[in-house]
Copies of this chain bind each other. A is one copy, B any other.
């Protein structure tokens, strides 16, 4: 897995041939048990790396379109899966826990629900105030610039834009780890505000 901006965070990627972007999984190495977020398939090397760092306790899925390799990883470990409560009635795989806005996965990893996205109650996660981890709504196919899903894919564009505006209110966001595309490692809040401004004009 690749080093990120802090020593307890790692990412690994699968290049998506249809879109020519990377799909990214995130691992938070944590004293109470490691957490994977929207994990893509792990290579043998990355499996060994993860095992050397303590394996995995929880897999958090931000939405049902980001199942990726979660089921395979859970079936080969004792990892439990947490998913968005907004999809509780129709989630395609078994979840041990449902996450709602304001929950904490573990202390330091806060849950926010994004409204109006492709799926109900898509999750974004705020790690110790400074690192935002996003699922599908917030993404970055063009390096250095955040964007959101195309309007046609959104259940409710106005609510989705309001969710982005809510993210701009988080005072300390420096890094934004996106599930799809190029993560941001500096001035995350500034990048969010740039996006929110464009969305206000277009939306």
Contacts and interface: CB of A to CB of B under 8 A. Distances in A.
A45 B21 CA distance: 12
A5 B146 CA distance: 11
A15 B14 CA distance: 11
Nearest to A194: B186
Given A17-B45, A45-B17, A49-B20, A3 B185 contact: no
A3 B17 contact: no
A183 B142 CA distance: 13
10 contacts: A2-B15, A2-B20, A2-B22, A3-B143, A4-B143, A13-B15, A20-B49, A143-B185, A182-B185, A186-B186
Copies of this chain, how many? 2
Interface of A: 1-5, 12-13, 15, 17, 20-22, 43, 45, 49, 141-145, 175, 182-183, 185-187, 191
B3 A183 contact: no
